[in-house]
Structure 1
Amino acid sequence: MKPIDLTLTISESIPSFPGSPKPIFIDWSNIRDDGYNLELLFLSSHTGTHLDAPFHFIKNGIKIHQIPINRLVGNAFLIKIPKSKNSSITKQDIISFEKKNRKIPNGSSVFFFTGWQKNLKKPNYFTENPGLDTLASKYLSSKKLNLVGIDSPSIDLGKAKSFAVHHLLSQNNILIVENLANLNKISSNEFNFTILPLKLKDATGSPVRAIATVLHSKNS
């Protein structure tokens, strides 16, 4: 199967998290005057499909450039669980998936498809998005996961103000990938992933190129 691109395209029109600057692309050089085209970029390190390093919320957490590359590629579970606005992904949702499929081993990576990505251009995209509840994040943390990904702009509920889930996962050294696209195109509940952030020294996060390839034909 061909690789599936799980990445949003970053442009000046991509919606940004409230309070964050919008991306700006500045034409710097052009073929006519300089012999080559070149642009400058101004954007948050958490623009579009991006990875949160634990340092984003934890003082002594690892930073983007310190993440071992073996944590950015591997096998993952995909939990497809459509959620509407302000709806939580619960511990029971995860346990139900495990009963139907197989138990998620310690050290795994888990991705959640909620269907929220279709609301990217809507005003409530960042304010009413689904996310994990506290019990779900504690359950995943107990498994010492490598990475958790989601197709909404935050692993926390949009209405949550304390970022409790971010804090809990980051305290347990779990990587977070947000704003994933095209998870619905993955036909299996297990797949291979590649998540490649820029190697930015001391950064809290980075836009990524996220890619999936299906391991086998078992349908979710």
Structure 2
Amino acid sequence: MSRRFVDLSIFLENDIASDPPGLEPKITYFTHEHTYEQIAPFFPGLRRQDLPDGEGWAVELVQLSTHNGTHLDAPWHFHSTMDAALGEKRSAIAIHDVPLEWCFQPGVRLDFRHLPDGHVVTADEVEAELKRIDHQLKPLEIVVVNTRAGSRYGERDFVSAGCGMGYDATRYLLDRGIRLTGTDAWSWDAPFVHTAKKYGQTQDASLIWEGHKAGRDIGYCHLEKLHNLESLPPHGFYISCFPHKIRNASAGWTRAVAIFDECLQASSP
């Protein structure tokens, strides 16, 4: 049996436009020639020249938000409660309570790269895309959205690029048993700069974070800042995206990966 793995994650790195100004990750690198002072207190009398080649260890100090890098948002990020539409409104779960079975399932890719920046995807557009790729959703499949933002990662306009998923589009997925989604954009919703213009014109607060807020009705998770989605077919692969276990957190970092079982694909009709 042969398996192929496709990395769907971005790097955590300095000096890349991956987040709004002031919210980027910060990584300090300590290399082998700079860490004797860290090691010496553990071993009284140790001299630098006593270490092989005079080298210590390499280690990094990282300052992060749980929403830096490729990460999985928990329902707690969206609202304090969830599942109101299921007749059992309850406290939203944090990242450490996300069911692990949600995080390893068959994947489905919706291609919305042709939609303009700031466009809010509708339920009809989701349905039309599913028809185009000839796929009927199954409960717990992981649905990822390929937007124009994926091609802008690392550029100054990344945070404002790509379309977003609206409330109706998100509910369309959730009503069919989807509990984990993803996007290669900075946010599951349309970029704030575009939503702010609409809000300024209408003063309609329901436009703000409307896709996220669908989690009030049915609890779900989504991946943000995915990468390389354009390399995926519409379906026929698994996605693995187990989050880091951070108690009571709104998100956790993940190394999202697409997994292809080449033997099964070759033998399928």
How far has the Cα of 1:115 moved from its partner?
3.3
CA contact (8 A) 2:17 2:155 kept: no
- Corresponding position of 1:9: 11
- Cα distance in 2 for partners of 1:15, 1:170 equals 31
Deviation at 1:20, TM superposition (A): 5.0
Paired amino acid for 1:89: V
Deviation per residue, 1:16-65 (Å, 9 max, x gap): 43365221222457455133222211011101211100011221211111
Pick aligned residue for 1:118 from 132, 140, 151: 151
Q: Which residue of 2 aligns with 1:26?
A: 28
CA distance in 2, matches of 1:187, 1:76: 10
Aligned partner of 1:167 among 213, 226, 243: 213
Q: Deviations over 1:181-220 (max 9, x none)?
A: 0111113423201002211111111221000023537xxx
2:145 is the alignment partner of 1:143: no
Bigger fraction of residues in strand: 1
Q: Is the 8 A contact 1:61 1:171 kept in 2?
A: no
Structure 2, unaligned runs of 5 or more: 40-55, 81-90, 197-207
TM (norm. structure 2) is 0.73
Moved over 6 A (4+): none
Matched, 1:192 2:238: yes
* Structure 2 counterpart of 1:78: 109
Residue 62 of structure 2: aligned partner:
41
Q: Give the Cα separation in 2 of the matches to 1:146 and 1:190.
A: 18
Distance in 2 (alpha carbons) for counterparts of 1:170 and 1:50:
20
Task: Provide the residue aligned with 1:133 in structure 2.
Answer: 166
Q: 1:24 to 1:99 in 2, by over 3 A?
A: closer
SS in 2 for 1:97: helix
Which 5+ residue runs of structure 1 have no aligned equivalent? Answer: none
AA matched with 1:67: V
Q: Distance in 1 between matches of 2:17 and 2:65?
A: 12
CA distance in 1, matches of 2:30, 2:155: 32
1:60-75 equivalent positions in 2, closer than 5 A: 60-75=91-106
- The residue aligned with 1:88 is 120
Select which of 254, 257, 266 maps to 1:208.
254
Q: CA RMSD in A?
A: 2.3
For residues 120-174 of structure 1, give each alpha carbon's deviation from its aligned partner in whole angstroms, at most 9, with x where no partner exists.
2333322343111222122122223120111111110002352111111354111
The equivalent position to 1:56 in structure 2, one of 73, 77, 82, is 77
Distance in 1 (alpha carbons) for counterparts of 2:79 and 2:5? 34
After alignment, is 70-79 or 173-182 more displaced?
A: 70-79
Report if the CA contact (8 A) 1:129-1:154 is conserved: no
1:97 pairs with 2:123: no
Q: What is the letter of the counterpart of residue 48 of structure 1? A: G
Aligned residues of 1:47 and 1:206 also touching (Cα < 8 A): no
Contact 2:147–2:162 (8 Å) recurs in 1:
no
CA distance in 2, matches of 1:128, 1:211: 23
Cα distance change, pair 149–84 in 1 and its aligned pair in 2 (3 A): same
Give secondary structure in 2 for the equivalent of 1:105.
coil
Q: Report how many aligned residue pairs link the two structures.
A: 218
Residue type of the alignment partner of 2:168:
L
Greater share of helix: 2
TM-score (norm 1): 0.88
In structure 1, what residue type is equivalent to 2:5?
Answer: P
Q: Distance in 1 between matches of 2:12 and 2:184?
A: 15
